[in-house]
Amino acid sequence: MQLLAIECLGKTLRLEGSMAGWQQLFWNEQCVSQIDASADSDTFSHQFMLQSEQGEIQVELNGALQWQPFTLQYQLLLNDQVVQSDSLDEKSIEQQDVSAREKQPIKFSLVGMAGLGLKLLKSAKVIKVLFAAGSLAAYSWLFSIEFAIALILCLVFHEYGHIKAMKYFGLKTKGIYLIPFVGGLALSDDKINTRWQDVVISIMGPFFGLILSIACLIGYWITDLEILAGLAVFNALLNLFNLLPILPLDGGHVLKSIAFSINSKVGLIVCALGAALGIYISYYFGLALLGFLLAIGSIEIFFEYKRRHLSQLLPLNRYAQVVSAIWYVVTVGGLSAIIWLVGQTGNNALSLPLKILGS
């Protein structure tokens, strides 16, 4: 991952590293120094020579690195003179712009073609309108116009939670896409730098869904309108489904970030157990959509493990792991409580959502 990017003699000096201990130092995209993986990676020192009009200049980058909690102290020296020094923490990593890395040769693959297609879709604003209209028409055809509007409201509110979290971290967003028969998608122009960003962005969608369900439930208690109870429980079920610990659902991303922050083997085992749970749920309830998502999630697990030593994301520290787990459990508990409360009222608010999930 990118640890540091500073100006040096008119060009960018970029330090890349991993928890395994290896580091690479780039000056204007040219690798000028490298440290191999080792158990003792608390301190580092990179040295290289540059040619200038004044002759040779010795560049030296020294520092101390601690991963949990993350701190990076560094000194940049030119001809043994300190020209820059600073200390970075996790907030600094979250806010930095990741430099573009060397692109790999293009190879034909179905996954690559799908990615290209998604990029084309993201670049066309008119697709948002077409997808929204398609979603409204599809859900109106399946159920009713009233239900279609309510469902789209739930989806947009959920995705707005993701967008709000992206903006909190200063990420540029492309907005919300409604995909017929699948749901919604919140897209960003920027890449995340830390596992904590992944957790917050992933869980804020269901958390906003929890807020909407609470608001609908309170409205039902005040007005006794059964449609509000139905909206509360359907929205709760929708977001509870999204919190299943299965990739690529939001719950799977929270689980992945916590598990891979512990170590890559734990991450692989936990994600594989999540996939097995997804297979069981998909078979038991007959959820064809979940089976499709599991195929995508399996690819994500494979590449996550394959790139475990080259991860571009700063892992969660112990405190963040605990906070993430508690936040997840509280959100799941809150959504489950809403479903239970509505179920105790004795009305038919649960029947339609369960029928929809079964279909």
pLDDT tens-digit profile of 63-116? 888 877 788 888 888 888 888 888 888 887 777 766 555 444 444 454 455 555
**Rounded to whole angstroms, how far apart are CA atoms 70 and 153?**
40
> Best-predicted range by mean pLDDT among 255-264, 320-329, 338-347?
320-329
Same domain, 210 and 337: yes
Res. 211 pLDDT band, cuts 50 70 90 = very high
Same domain, 263 and 322: yes
Query: In the predicted model, what is the mean pLDDT of residues 310-319?
Result: 78
Note whether 31 and 25 are within 8 A (CB).
yes
Domain contains 103: no
Q: Where a domain ends, among 66, 95, 124?
A: 95
**Model confidence, pTM:** 0.75
Is the confidence at residue 143, as pLDDT, over 50? yes
Is the confidence at residue 216, as pLDDT, over 60? yes
> Best-predicted range by mean pLDDT among 113-122, 159-168, 261-270?
159-168
- Looking at residue 330, its pLDDT comes to 95
Same domain, 21 and 70: yes
**Rounded to whole angstroms, how far apart are CA atoms 316 and 262?**
8
| Structure tokens belonging to residue 173 | 């967003």
Domain contains 105: no
The rounded mean pLDDT for the chain is 78
Q: Where a domain ends, among 44, 61, 95?
A: 95
Residues in contact with 198: Cβ distance below 8 Å, sequence separation at least 6, in sequence order: 192, 253, 254, 256, 257, 313
Note whether 327 and 203 are within 8 A (CB).
yes
- Looking at residue 356, its pLDDT comes to 53
Residues in contact with 288: Cβ distance below 8 Å, sequence separation at least 6, in sequence order: 282
Point out the least confidently predicted range of 106-110, 196-200, 307-311, 350-354: 106-110
Residue 56 is given by DSSP the state E
Same domain, 129 and 154: yes
**Bridge-partner residues for 82, per DSSP?**
77
CATH number at residue 44: 2.40.128
Domain contains 143: yes
Strand order in the sheet with 71-78: 43-52, 55-66, 71-78, 81-89
Domain count, the chain: 2
- Looking at residue 206, its pLDDT comes to 94
Domain contains 100: no
Note whether 70 and 76 are within 8 A (CB).
no
Domain limits for position 21: 2-95
Read off the pLDDT of residues 281-313 as tens digits, 9 standing for 90 and up.
Answer: 777 766 666 666 777 777 777 777 777 666 677
Note whether 254 and 328 are within 8 A (CB).
yes
Q: Where a domain ends, among 67, 95, 123?
A: 95
- Looking at residue 82, its pLDDT comes to 86
- Looking at residue 120, its pLDDT comes to 52
